[in-house]
Amino acid sequence: MSILKVARMGHPVLRTRARALDVGEVRSAMFQTLIDDMIATMIEYEGIGLAGPQVHEGVRLFVAGMESGHEKMRVVPFINPVITPVGEETVDGWEGCLSIPDIRGKVPRFKHVVVKALDRRGQPFELDLSDFPARVVQHETDHLDGTLFFDRIKDFRSLTYLEEYGRYHAEREEE
C-alpha cells in the first residue's frame, strides 16, 4: 500500500465533478489498489473520510470510517454513492478536511440520511445513518460533486484553526 498525495484547496481537481464507475472498473486490480491506498492514506493523516478527488482521482469513490459499536473502526468504501435525506432536520456541526488542513468550521448537514452505493466488489448496499456518520458521508459525497465544506458554511465567524478549536471549542461539543 502507498500513501497518496492529498490535493489541497485551490487545486482544480477538488472543484470538478467526479465521474461514475462501472462494475468492471470497480473489480479491476488497479481500482482495488486505489481503495487500499486511499484507506492507508486516510489512516496515515488521521482522517475519518477521503474522496477520490482528494487524491487526484476524478472518480465517484470515497472511503470512510464507520463506527461499529465497541469494535475497531471499520473503513468502508462507497462507490457511486447516492444520498437521500430522511426528513428535513439539519444540525450544525464542526468539520475539517484533509484538503484544507488545520481549519475547522461549523457546517449545517442533514441529521439523518440513507446512502446507497456499491461496495468494493461492485455489489449494491444501503446504510441508514444519523448524526456523525451521516455528516461524514455528506462531506465526502460533496467532494465527488466539487463542493468543499467552506461552500456550505452559513456563518464564517465559526472558522477556526485546529489548535484554537481544541483549546476553545472541542470541550463545549462534548458537554
**E-only strand ranges, 119-172:** 124-130, 160-161
Q: Of 67, 71, 126, 140, which one is the catalytic site residue?
A: 140
* CA angle at 157 for the pair 139 and 55, rounded to the nearest 5°: 30
**Is residue 140 annotated as a catalytic residue, yes or no?**
yes
| 3-state SS, residue 109 | strand
- Residues 113, 131: Cα–Cα separation, whole Å: 9
Q: Which residue has the cell 458521508?
A: 137
Q: Using an 8 Å Cβ cutoff, are 111 and 130 in contact?
A: yes
86: cell is: 430522511
Q: Which residues are catalytic?
A: 140
